[in-house]
Structure 1
Amino acid sequence: MAAKDFIVAIELGSSKVTGIAGKKNLDGSISVLAVVKEDSSSFIRKGIVYNINQTVQCIANIVKKLSSSLKSEIAQVYVGVGGQSIRSVKNVIVKDLPNDTIVSQDMVNELMDINRNMSYQDQEILDAATQEYKVDNQFQLDPVGIQCGRLEGNFLNILWRKTFYRNLNKCFDTAEVAIAEMYLAPLALADCVLSDAERRSGCVLVDLGADTTTVSVYYKNILRHLAVIPLGGNNITKDIASLQMDEPTAEKMKLKYGCAYTDNNDIDNSLMLPIDAERSVESRKFIEIVEGRLQEIIENVWYQVPSEYADRLLGGIILTGGGANMKDIDKAFRNHTHIEKIRIAKFVNQTITSNNPDITAHNGMMNTVLGLLVKGDMNCAGEETPENVDLFSGEKTAKAGPKTADLHQNPRTPGEMSPGVVQTEAEKIKAEEQRRKAAEEAAKREAEEAARLEEEQKKERKSMKNRMARFKNWVDKFIKEPDE
């Protein structure tokens, strides 16, 4: 029987593209209906689309396979945005006000709009996290209703290279897969693996991926810093491969023997680890290679934590992603950062039911795509797939579904969107068209008003000229009368 009400999310990762479909139940839990994965190492690097054609084909395959499992067309999908070059930049907008002005919501919205319209070379603003407002000399989270003479907005702008942003949108447009919503993957992940207490008291979320490591810093329930480090588990694998072996063999050795931290006294100098039937490597040498690269990753993670929050992390460090499965990874982080409170988030906080081994493994590798699934709130089901139809024949089996541009006919303002939601390129283009039309109409009104004022001034000048002429005639006539 075809599923008629479900949500679909797609995560484009460095090692694999994952598509997942799930149904939200009345009790708040989610039942996973289908999971599809495809290798992406040849066309996605460090979370970035590099080969558009291969990515388009992969997305189309993912959607077709999900449609086959669900026996239903997929009308739209939720997409995660992440990968290299995502970074956060602080920005301050100041507005001087007349003394004793009471701050209104419109004033706050104006600061947000000014910040959103900031221009960064080759960078796209994906989201803007409000840090706090400074009302005269006092910091406030909500300044509305407070009397002041100076209002300052502190924002954290999350940027991504425009090329990467456009390529991602182009891939889904070309694959004819409509985007219901784009989410910042690190924020969707944080919402699903962090507790309110951790985000409020201060914590660092570290997502250890294949090609990248994402660092998110929270304090007082606000995102304070976001960065993506171009290092991940694959770097360790490549270092092991330098021992003259292919990467698949190096990956197997990493998973079997890899350990994040080994006390020097526990190393057996006589132990040899087999590479194949004929070769082996010294245990100490293997440990030095693995721990050397991992130490570099941890150092880069800790470097990303702003100094003003380094001693405020009462919530500790939360590790997730595939790299968090390495033995004693928590000891390695504790040894370098001296943060005692370290938790490994192997699954999301929500109740997820599934028979799929990728979900039931609870190894942290599905947390991001599950976070995207949790965010979904629009039905992604399309028409029921007719029976006895080959979904992979390349022929259209049903009329085309909606396009991304059709889903948001009226572009939303940043204030209308939830934190972490990214406008699609189609929505941005529509919003820009509306702004341009509004500017043109405003310019036209101004021109018409200027023309009207000019016409009134001309009439006034002409009237004044006539009055002066009449007055002059009267004076001339008055002067002449006595002489007569």
Structure 2
Amino acid sequence: MAGKDFIVAIELGSSKITGIAGKKNSDGSINVLAVVKESVKDNAATSIIRKGVVYNIDKTAQCLTTIINKLTAQLKTEIAQVYVGVGGQSIRSIRNTITKELPVDTKVTQDMVIELMDSNRSTKYPNQEILDVAPQEYRVDTQLQLDPVGIQCSRLEGNFLNILERQTFYKNLNKCFETAGINVAEMYLAPLALADSVLTETEKRSGCALIDIGADTTTVSVYSKNILRQLAVIPLGSSNITKDIASLQMEEEDAEKMKIKYGSAYTNNDDIDNTLMLSIDEERQVESRKFIEIVEGRMDEIIENAWHQIPQAYCDKLLGGIILTGGGANMKNIDKAFINHTHIDKIRIAKFVNHTINSNNEDINAKNGMMNTILGLLAKGEINCASDEADGQRDLFSTQHPADSGRTISSVSGMRPGSVPTEEQKRQAEEEIRRKREEEERIAREREAELEAQRERERKENSIINKGLRWIKNMGKKIVEEE
């Protein structure tokens, strides 16, 4: 029987939904207790989840319920809440700048910085939802600073990288868990959880590009000086290669097998045998050259699109190189293909996460990059997900900061980097902001009423004094006249 302390994470992928439960140890390692997968392709994938985005709420909710039931059976413990990875094709990043003019030689305070953050958070994008914000450098007069607090200036400029998703997709994701009756402890941006799990501090600091090649999407994350500089999702993945191979008049299942067996992202022309035939099955064959051209053609398109997502300012500053991960990164010679297109020699394939993982699961122990994201989400979990906890919010380690699932969100500083507010949390935050506004207005009215009362008293006092002075003056005149 599993222990009563465990984390549960769920990843909604294009081809499958994965649920995982694990127990964190005091030394930082993680024991995986259960892994469950539900193939969305078996349930009309085109209408459930496409390119990591939920399209059919009810069927997705059914899959989620099945995942929870299977995990519960393996854990022999009811699950109170789960961590959820947010990804998909509609996620993108956009830069935004907020400026505050100040009196000369004003010292920057933390409240000023939070005010800039809140102003940025309130920026409206048509049909888009701000999921998270990655603060960049602050411009203090003419100087760039990571932390401007305590510096004197007359102009403070905050530069932010806002991570957006279409509101419809964001609401659909929330609705799935509401429909399934599953409590969400915290939503987390899957690409950021993945980056924290496979990238080294040196790579993030010196500058790198993380390219996660999934089934239907390819995610590009660019880091420099330990700051996320760009996040983009391309609607192309390894399944596009499979579909292209299937155009050679074969089933996708056979095309997938051929891709795994013969596929290469790069082949030297001198090594191509024009007479070689590749077997589809016992009766059918396909020309080797034609197969190579199809695979390389689509792979080249994926690489070119991924490279195009890296801002020009960072293309020649990726001292940490390019890090490849995901199932698509397992293709033979993929590192050579990236070198040929990007002319960056430093290519690393991240087959596994940086954490110590103890597991008997074959998919995890295969270390092929396909479980990296879900393991990254598991590592982000801090709140016990077992339902028999008295408070249901106990942090597993006292040294960590609990991600309070019921916290209000009024500023960027109130959230963990990468954490995405659920709709319920957003409603709570808006309600809290409304209450604070009403309280401030009430206090302002009371102060105004008190000031008005004070002014009235002063008017009365002045009136009495003036009357007394005028009486004395008049009396003085009468006495003088009489004399």
TM-score between the two structures when normalised by the length of structure 2 = 0.90
User: 1:275: which partner in 2?
Assistant: 280
Q: Which runs of 5+ in 2 are unaligned?
A: 394-402
Give deviations 1:138-194, integer Å, cap 9, x for gaps: 111112222222221111111111111111111112211111111111111001101
The corresponding residue for 1:331 is 336
2:265 is aligned with 1:228: no
Q: Provide the residue aligned with 1:421 in structure 2.
A: 419
- Deviation at residue 467 of structure 1 after TM alignment: 7.2
Residue 106 of structure 1 corresponds to which residue in structure 2?
A: 111
User: Which secondary structure does the structure 2 equivalent of 1:36 belong to?
Assistant: strand
Q: Which residue of 1 aligns with 2:178?
A: 173
Alpha-carbon distance between aligned partners in 2 of 1:452 and 1:68, rounded to the nearest angstrom? 64
Q: Is the 8 A contact 2:6 2:23 kept in 1?
A: yes
Q: Aligned equivalents of 1:376 and 1:22: distance in 2?
A: 10
Q: After superposition, where does 1:344-383 map in structure 2 within 5 Å?
A: 344-383=349-388
Distance 2:260 2:252 in 1: 12
Q: How does 1:48-127 map to 2 (within 5 A)?
A: 48-127=53-132
Q: Which residue of 2 aligns with 1:9?
A: 9
Contiguous gaps of at least 5 residues in structure 1: 385-398
Q: Deviations over 1:358-407 (max 9, x none)?
A: 011000000000001111122111239xxxxxxxxxxxxxx9x89xxx96
Q: Identity of counterpart residues, as a percentage?
A: 66
Supply the distance in 2 between the matched residues of 1:2 and 1:222 (Cα, whole angstroms). 38
Q: Which amino acid aligns with 1:9?
A: A
Which residue of the partner structure matches residue 408 of structure 1? Answer: 405
Q: Contact 1:172–1:179 at 8 Å: present in 2 too?
A: yes
Q: Distance in 2 between matches of 1:130 and 1:359?
A: 34
Question: What are the within-5 Å matches in structure 2 for residues 181-200 of structure 1?
Answer: 181-200=186-205
Does residue 287 (structure 1) correspond to residue 284 (structure 2)? The answer is: no
Secondary structure (helix, strand or coil) at the match of 2:125 reads: coil
Residue 96 of structure 1: CA displacement? 1.8
Deviation (angstroms), 1:234: 1.3
Residue 477 of structure 1: how far off its partner (Å): 9.1
What's the offset of the Cα at 1:287? 1.1
1:40 match: 40
Per the alignment, do residues 76 and 276 of structure 1 end up closer, same or farther by CA in structure 2, a change over 3 Å counting? same
Check the 8 A contact 1:3/1:71 in 2, yes or no.
no
Asked if 1 retains the 8 angstrom alpha-carbon contact of 2:86 and 2:188, the reply is: yes
Describe the shift of the 1:327–1:409 C-alpha distance in structure 2 as closer, same or farther (beyond 3 A). closer
Q: 1:319 aligns with which of 294, 309, 324?
A: 324
Distance 1:410 1:480 in 2: 77
Distance 2:152 2:468 in 1: 57
Aligned partners of 1:282, 1:117: CA distance in 2, in Å?
Answer: 57
RMSD over aligned CA atoms reads 2.4
CA distance in 2, matches of 1:437, 1:19: 38
CA distance in 2, matches of 1:174, 1:31: 30
Displacement, 1:322? 0.4
Residue 333 of structure 1 aligns with an amino acid whose one-letter code is: F
1:190-238 per-residue CA deviation (whole Å, 9 max, x = no partner) reads 0110111111111100000011000000111111100000111111111
For structure 1, which segment, 168-177 or 360-369, has the greater mean C-alpha deviation from structure 2 after superposition?
168-177
Corresponding residue of 1:436? 434
Note the C-alpha offset of 1:416.
3.3
Distance 2:3 2:203 in 1: 37
Deviations 1:239-268 (A, max 9, x none): 122222222222222112211111112111
Distance of 1:283 and 1:458 partners within structure 2: 96
Alignment partner, residue 25 of structure 2: 25
Are the counterparts in 1 of residues 264 and 332 from structure 2 also a CA contact under 8 Å?
yes
**Number of residue pairs matched by the alignment:** 466
Cα displacement (A) at 1:277: 3.8
User: SS of 2:388's equivalent?
Assistant: strand
Aligned mates of 1:164, 1:171 — CA distance in 2: 11
More deviation, 271-280/359-368:
271-280
Determine if contact 1:3/1:381 at 8 Å carries over to the other structure: no
207-216 vs 248-257, greater mean Cα deviation = 248-257
TM-superposed deviation, 1:134: 1.4
Aligned twin of 1:164:
169
User: Once structures 1 and 2 are overlaid, which stretch shifts more, 336-345 or 177-186?
Assistant: 177-186
1:103-158, Cα deviation, whole Å (9 max, x unpaired): 22222222112112211111111111111111221111112222222221111111
Map 1:196-275; keep pairs closer than 5 Å: 196-275=201-280
Deviations for 1:1-31, whole angstroms, at most 9, x for unmatched residues? 3421111111110011111111112222111
Cα distance in 2 for residues equivalent to 1:301 and 1:186: 15
Offset at 1:49?
Answer: 0.6
- Residue 308 of structure 1: aligned partner: 313
Quick one: which of 436, 447, 450 aligns to 2:445?
A: 447
Deviation at 1:348, TM superposition (A): 0.4
1:170 aligned counterpart, secondary structure: helix
Deviation (angstroms), 1:444: 2.6
TM-score normalised per structure 1: 0.90
For 2:400, the equivalent position in structure 1 comes to none
Instruction: Return the alpha-carbon distance in structure 2 between the equivalents of residues 103 and 326 of structure 1.
Output: 51
| Larger CA deviation: 220-229 vs 149-158 | 149-158
Identify the range of structure 1 (61-70 vs 419-428) with the bigger mean alpha-carbon deviation: 419-428
